[in-house]
Amino acid sequence: MSGPQELYPPATGLCDTPMAARKRLSLSGKPLTPTELEILRWASEGKTVWEISKIRATSQAAVKFHLRNIYGKLQVSNRVQAVNEAVRQRLY
């Protein structure tokens, strides 16, 4: 034999993308909910996940869930990008 054999064919298609990337793609372009807008406003004021959870009387996991959805809908990767994109789109 001349070189290593390929045991598996190269991966292609949507199923090859990481789960988070697929979720972002499915949320892309959808409008932010009132809850997501509120959480984004608090985040834009520099509030932490813990602080937002106390303000909203909810769990930190719920706040993180909404932040991930915000990132997916705005097609961004972090809070700074989300706030900048929200300002650019005049969402608040």
Question: Domains along the chain?
Answer: 19-88 (1.10.10.10)
Span 13-30, average pLDDT: 63
**Higher pLDDT among residues 30 and 16, named by residue:** 30
Model pLDDT, residue 29: 80
Q: How confident is the model at residue 49 (pLDDT cuts 50, 70, 90)?
A: very high
Helix, strand or coil, per DSSP, at residue 24: helix
Q: Which residue has the tokens 């991930």?
A: 68
The C-alpha atoms of residue 16 and residue 61 are separated, in whole angstroms, by: 27
The C-alpha atoms of residue 82 and residue 75 are separated, in whole angstroms, by: 8
The count of C-alpha atoms lying within 13 angstroms of the C-alpha of 33, restricted to the half-sphere facing its C-beta, is: 11
Q: What is the pTM of this model?
A: 0.72
The C-alpha atoms of residue 4 and residue 47 are separated, in whole angstroms, by: 53
